Amino acid sequence: MSDARQQRMLLTGNHAVAWAARLARPKVVPGYPITPQTPILEKLTEFHASGELDAELITPESEHSVMAACIPASLTGVRVFTATASQGLLLMHELLHYASGARAPIVMANVNRTPASPWGFWPDQTDSVAQRDTGWIQFYSESAQESLDTVIQAFRVAEAVLVPTMVNHDAFYVSHAVEPVEVPHQDVVDGFLPAYSPPHRIDPQNPESWGNVVTQEMYNRHRRDLGEALARVPEVALQADREWGALTGRSWGIVERYRCEGAATVIVTMGSMCGTVRDAVDALRQSGHAAGLLKIRLFRPLPVEALRAALVGVPDVVVLDRNYSPGHGGVLHQELRAALYGIDKAPRIHGLLAGVGGMNVSAERIADLVRETVVGAPRAESVWVK
């Protein structure tokens, strides 16, 4: 729907993210280059140089310093955006915990890429699923358009609950692929994102301090507060997504059900693989196998209620993990089993390690894997497939 409120452009996933960040009007953008994230920073720099982005862009000496700069900048009460990938995200780990503890609603795009060693530049979500315990909200996007919409929504959600938010998209498949993208008009985004005004901020007129040493009791309470904020996220995210839908004609849900009506098998995954699974679902349906896709868009907090509602009574669920937790298996597989454990009419859950290390898994292959998998009993561990 190209209209006065949005303009269609050909953009890569990374440039769509840069557009979203620009439209959100961040005031501070620290960044350190890393393949395949660099085009996000380059595009933002271009916007800045042409006067279209009024922000302080800084290039610290590492990602650790980038996240360190983000936190106090955010706590002054301004919008902060950054982007990274793989090793950069891993290097930030210490400060990811700090940022959520300090309740700094930073928005960060992460381009999912294999972590070292060995070295690779391939799409793989191990980098970000490994940050699931840091207290950050995490979204996964499937396309350039979704990445643009999600980054804008992420500011809304992050600021509503004061929790930092990460928007992930897969290396190259999304980050570098060019697609037609509807870029909303600045007024639309301004209307959607109210001016950011946190209840507490670093302000010399009203001195407060962050990060102090606390008692066990205070620490315990602090963790619970963070948990309560995260518990509100599914509702807040859905509300934001609905409003965005009303403004732009696009909403994505926190999970998406594709052809799940009466499904005998539902495939669950996240990120770029969802596109391929849609084709696999169509092929399976064509051949008489009632299959559907459940796409997880919000991964942290895991929307347990929505997952239960979507999967209760489905005979078989096949989880495709493009990540690997050695000694444990596919992270989504394990999380889904925990989320559905103990409910009535729980599905049989099969976990497949498909696409780890960036391996390409075609729609035909996924359809075959599903047919082969559901005839057997679910295995305790995730199964490696090619």
Partner 1 sequence: MNVPSPAMLSAKNFKSDTKPIWCPGCGDYAVLTSLTRALASLGRPPEEVAMISGIGCSSRIPAYMNCYGFHGVHGRALPLATGLKVARPDLTVIAAGGDGDGYSIGGNHFMHACRRNVDLTYIVMDNHVYGMTKGQSSPTTEPDWDNALTPGGTGVRPFQPLVVALASGANFVARAFSGDIVGTADIMTQAIKSPGFSLVEVLSPCVTFRPEQREWKDLVRPSPVPATDDPARAARRLMTDDGFNIGVLYTGQRQPYRPKGSETEKSLDALCQEFVI
- Is residue 47 near partner 1 by the rule CB under 8 A? no
Q: Are 178 and 49 in contact (CB under 8 A)?
A: no
Is the Cβ of residue 87 or residue 251 nearer to ligand TPP in the bound state? Answer: 87
Which 15-44 residues touch ligand TPP, going by CB under 6 A? 32-34
Helix (H) or strand (E) holding 165: strand 165-170
Of 58-66, 68-76, 316-324, 343-351, the segment contacting partner 1 by CB under 8 A is: 58-66
88 near ligand TPP, rule: CB under 6 A: yes
Q: Is 81 in the site for partner 1 (CB under 8 A)?
A: no
C-alpha radius of gyration, the chain, whole number: 20
CA distance to 52, 60, 336, per residue, from 298 (Å): 31, 30, 13
The least CB distance from residue 41 to ligand TPP, in Å, is 11
* Count of residues touching ligand TPP (by CB under 6 A): 7
Strand partners, 262: none
What is the rounded distance in angstroms from the CA atom of residue 173 to the CA atom of residue 123? 8
Element housing 40 (H / E): helix 38-49
Residue 115, CA distances (Å) to 118, 166, 215, 359, 360 in order: 8, 17, 36, 14, 17
User: Closest CB to ligand TPP among 63 and 321?
Assistant: 63
Nearer to partner 1, 49 or 246 (CB): 49
CB 13 within 8 A of CB 176: yes
Residue 21, both tokens: 């960040």
> Which phi-psi region, left, alpha or beta, contains residue 253 (left: φ > 0; alpha: ψ -120 to 50)?
left
Chosen from partner 1, ligand TPP, none, partner binding at 49 (C-beta under 5 to 8 Å by type):
partner 1
Q: Which amino acid is at 45?
A: T
Nearer to partner 1, 91 or 310 (CB): 91
Residue 234: is the preceding peptide bond cis (ω within 30°)?
A: no
Shortest distance (Å) from residue 49 CB to partner 1: 4
Binding flag, residue 146, ligand TPP (CB under 6 A)? no
Q: Which is nearer to partner 1, 22 or 337 (CB)?
A: 22
Task: Return the closest-CA partner of residue 348 out of 336, 359, 358.
Answer: 336
The entry of partner 1, ligand TPP, none near residue 38 (CB within 5 to 8 angstroms by kind) is partner 1
User: Which of ligand TPP, partner 1, none does residue 46 bind (CB under 5 to 8 Å by kind)?
Assistant: partner 1
Contact 175, 146 (CB under 8 A): no
Site membership for ligand TPP, residue 87 (CB under 6 A): yes
Shortest reach from residue 109's CB to ligand TPP, in Å: 15
Judged by CB under 8 A, which stretch of 111-119, 149-157, 178-186, 271-279 contacts partner 1? 111-119
Q: Which does 41 bind (CB under 5 to 8 A by kind): ligand TPP, partner 1, none?
A: partner 1
Q: Which does 341 bind (CB under 5 to 8 A by kind): ligand TPP, partner 1, none?
A: none
**Binder of partner 1 out of 27, 35, 226, 346 (CB under 8 A):** 35
Binding segment (CB under 6 A) for ligand TPP, from list 52-60, 85-93, 221-229, 349-357:
85-93
Buried residues in 210-245 as b, exposed as e (16+ CB within 10 A): eeeeeeeeeeeeeeeebeebbeebbebbbebbeebe
41 part of the interface to partner 1, by CB under 8 A: yes
Binding site residues, partner 1, CB under 8 A: 31-35, 38, 41-42, 45-46, 49, 59, 61-62, 87, 116-117, 119
